[in-house]
Structures are given as structure tokens and as C-alpha cells.
Amino acid sequence: MDTQSIKNRFGIIGNSPALNHALNVAVQVANTDLSVLINGESGVGKEVFSQIIHALSARKHNPFIAVNCGAIPEGTIDSELFGHEKGSFTGAVDSRKGYFETVNGGTIFLDEIGEMPLGTQARLLRVLETGEYIRVGSSKVQKTDVRVIAATNKDLLEFTYKGKFREDLYYRLNTVPIRVPALRDRKEDIPLLFRKFSVDFAERYKTAPVQLDDDARNVLVSYGWPGNVRELKNIAEQISVLSIDKNITGRELQIFLPQNNNSNRLPMLVSSNTNANGNEFSNEREILYKLFFDMKKDVTELKKMFAEIIKNPSNAAVAAAYAHDNLMNDYTPIGELQPNAPIQAQPYMQVQAPPTHAAQPVIMEHDDIHEHEEVEESLNIMDKEKELIVKALKKHKGKRKDAALDLGISERTLYRKLKEYDIDD
């Protein structure tokens, strides 16, 4: 049977080389009894490939069953697969056959094999190697002739390194690997699939088929499709049911696409709360650090100018103009930083250096010789922050709302700072 006939029989749409290669491997391995491991992301249609392998094998007239290993609780999966004896555990009121017994002679498809518990993996390995299994609560060895096809959307080899999956079982299952490509890796098939789904849903809901313009087709192809074919089918159904005008534009199509999964098409948003190096401020304290370090730099500049004035009083006017243009208009507003949000403009805060800590020039007169020495100001960030809060509260006579507005922070943040610094307002 050729590839196109298989596509028509099982409803497979697409002509990408990766898809055709996966189908060819499935056809070639179908007539053997080799174990097959189907790899692919969720929603690519891995179960269809297991059905193809079974339908083209010598077991096609025998049972086929698909089991989702991730949907069965760990405490019952052994019973589901291998059966149990009466009284083997609480609730086992009767003996029960497992899937490996009921599907004897046929094919069992184990989806999400990576979710299988390690104990069950050991039992499965024995079935693959010897065709033997034991029911839960029994000591009798039973035989089965079942072909196992497994599928996973995980990296099982990485799981073996982490001890989450048995290495011997991995190589036993991976006799013939089949990788089903993700939808984003076969973009040329996306319009074909959408057209097929649109026609099917139009017939089901008795409406006209959806038509996409060129812009909409570009949007459709450029979207990442993390849910693969399953997601594309859901979007086609939504549009078929909800759209009044069946001629869809790119803007209209974007309404149906999840924006949080659309990052591969949208430009990255850059928050405005970044520092000079392009790094985001992690919290409001970092902003305060920057503010006070800038203040320290400005105070140092002022001290230098004051020393020059003492030495040469004629430079006073020039120094005053420089201070006004370069220092006094360069303060940064303090704002409460919120995660992933730009810093909003806040009223500027006029900061006066406290007289008890600020560096002040001390003038000493010895006969016509004027000397000065600098007393280093305190650089403790918490002291500075506490002093500013106390000054703001005094200025506004204990009114927290006005003090918070003056400081450029929220009233909630001010309340937290009051408790943190044990300030009695």
C-alpha cells in the first residue's frame, strides 16, 4: 500500500518530508513483531500511527487497545495491565483479567509511557523479553503474545539519566523509533489541515466553509501551534461556529489565537523599570540604593564646589549655576516597583541632607590660612530611608497618605516601612 492510500484511509493530511518519512517507517515495520516507540509532542497524532501499524500487520484481525499510562493511578496500573486475583487488595472482590490477557494475540498501545511507575516498568520489561507476566496477588506465571507500541512526548533517554525510566526498558522499546513531526515543523501542511477541518465543521454545523485571506494565512502559518494538530482543529471549530463573516482576515484570526502562546510572532515587550545597564530593578530597595548613591555623588560635587568658593569667592556665581543645572534637577522619583510593570511617574522628592549625618565642611582659621576637613556622611541605606520617612511624616503632621505621596510610594508600602523600622507616627 502506497503512502497516499494510507493517508486517505486514516485521514492524514500533509505532504511534508518529515511526515512522509514517519509514515514510511510505520509501513515498513508493520509486518514485523518489533516493539515501536513513537516520539512526538502532544497533539501530533501519535495514536494514529499505532493504528496504522496494527492495521497493516498480521495481527489486524485481533484486538487493539490504547492505554494512557498517565491516566491510570499508580496503585491500580499493575492490576489494569496484568490483572489481579480475588482478595489481592482492598476492593478486589473478584479476579480480573488485565489488558495483556484480554488482548492476547493483538496489539497494545501504551501512550505516555514516560508516566509509568518504575515497578510497572519492570513487569513490562519481563513481558517484552519473555512474554510472561504474573497477576497481582498471584504466584502463577502466565503467557501472552502481545505486540507493544509505546508513545511519549518526553525525552525518555533523559529520564533514564535521572532515574525516572529504566534504561533496559528504554532500549527494549526503542527497537524501531518513529518521530512524528510537530506542526510548526511542517508549516506547508497547516493551510491544508485548516481547510480540511473547516469543510468538515461546515458540513457538521450546516454553515459555509471558512475562507482565509492572504494575511490570515500568514498569521496561521507563523503561529507556533504548541498544541499541534489538536489545537489547529479546535481553532478551526471555534471560527466555524463563532464567526459571522466566513471570510476571515488576519486581524480577525488573531482574536481566536491564544496571545500567551503567540510569543514567536510578537515583539518582546521591554519594561521601563530598567537601570542604566539594561537590567531590571529587582525591588524598590534597589531603586533607593540608586537614589542615595546618586545623592552621595551630588553631595560630593557640592562639597568640591564649596571648597573652591572658599578659596576663590569670585567663582560663587558660576558654581551656583552649575549646581542648579546639573544637580538640583537630576533627582529620580521613588516609586513602588510592581512585578512586570513600568515605574509610574511620581512627584519628585526634594531631599535635604540631615544635619547630624551630612558631610559638612569645617572651616578652621589659623592666621589668614583657611583649612577645611570633610566629615564623611552615613551611607547606611536603612538609616537614610528611615530619616526620609520620619521627615515626611513630620512635614505632613502624621498624615500617612500625604507622606506616602510626597515620598513617591504607596500608602501600603509606607505602612510596612513604619512597622519594619518601628516608627511611631
Please write the tens of the pLDDT for every residue from 135-186: 999 889 999 999 999 999 999 999 999 999 999 999 999 999 999 999 999 9
pLDDT of residue 124: 96
Same-domain pairing of 167 and 88: yes
Helix (H) / strand (E) containing 133: strand 132-134
Question: How many independent structural domains does the chain possess?
Answer: 3
In a domain, 96, yes or no: yes
What confidence tier does 362 reach under pLDDT thresholds 50, 70, 90?
A: very low
Are 122 and 154 members of one domain? yes
Q: What is the CATH number of the domain that holds 228?
A: 1.10.8.60
pLDDT > 60? residue 338: no
Predicted pLDDT at 203: 93
Written as one string, the DSSP assignment of 97-110 is --HHHHTTTSEEEE
What is the reported pLDDT for 399?
Answer: 84
* Average model confidence (pLDDT) across the chain: 80
What is the C-alpha separation between 340 and 354, in angstroms, rounded? 34
- CATH number for the domain that contains residue 21: 3.40.50.300
Asked whether residue 272 is domain-assigned, the answer is no
190 and 158 assigned to the same domain:
no
Helices (H), 312-410: 316-326, 381-395, 400-407
Per-residue pLDDT of 226-274, as tens digits, reads 999 999 999 999 999 998 888 999 999 999 998 765 444 443 333 334 4
Both ends of the chain: CA-CA distance in Å? 86
382 against 206, higher pLDDT: 206
Q: Around Cβ 256, how many Cβ atoms within 10 Å?
A: 15
Shared-domain flag, residues 298 and 373: yes
Please say which residue of 181, 212, 241 terminates a domain: 181
37 and 70 share one domain: yes
DSSP designation for 136: B
Give the tens place of pLDDT for each residue, 364-378.
Answer: 444 444 444 444 555
pLDDT band at 20 (very low <50, low <70, confident <90, very high): very high
Cα angle at 31 between 27 and 34, to 5 degrees? 95
A 10 A CB-CB count for 108 gives: 24
Which residues, other chains included, contact 119 with Cβ-Cβ below 8 Å and sequence gap of 6+? 78
Closest CA to 398 of 377, 367, 416, 423: 423
**Per-residue pLDDT, 146:** 96
- Per-residue pLDDT, averaged over 94-111, amounts to 94
* pLDDT for the residue numbered 80: 93
What percent of the chain has pLDDT above 70? 74
Q: Whole-model pTM? A: 0.60
Give pLDDT, residue 287. Answer: 60
What percent of the chain has pLDDT above 90?
53
Residue of 31, 179, 47 whose CA lies nearest to 109 = 47
Same structural domain, 13 and 111: yes
Of 122, 147, 181, at which residue does a domain stop?
181
Domain that holds residue 155: 3-181
Do 113 and 199 lie in a common domain? no
Q: Are residues 193 and 177 in the same domain?
A: no
Does one domain contain both 22 and 109? yes
Q: What is the mean pLDDT of residues 97-114?
A: 95
Do 45 and 189 meet the contact criterion of CB atoms below 8 Å apart?
A: no
In a domain, 200, yes or no: yes
Mark whether 91 and 164 lie in a shared domain: yes
- Contacts of residue 3, Cβ cutoff 8 Å, sequence gap at least 6: 20, 23, 24, 27
Single residue among 181, 207, 240 that ends a domain in this structure: 181
Q: How far apart are CA 255 and CA 238, in angstroms?
A: 11
- Is 277 inside a domain boundary? no
pLDDT in tens, 182-231: 999 999 999 999 999 999 999 999 999 999 999 999 999 999 999 999 99
In a domain, 266, yes or no: no
> Quick one: 22 and 161 in the same domain?
yes
Residue 108 located in a structural domain: yes
Q: In this structure, how many other beta carbons lie within 10 angstroms of the beta carbon of residue 298?
A: 18
The residues, ordered by sequence, that sit 6+ positions from 13 with a Cβ below 8 Å of its Cβ are: 7, 189, 192, 193, 196
- Determine, yes or no, domain membership for 269: no
Same domain, 294 and 398: yes
Q: Give 29 or 370, the one with higher predicted confidence.
A: 29
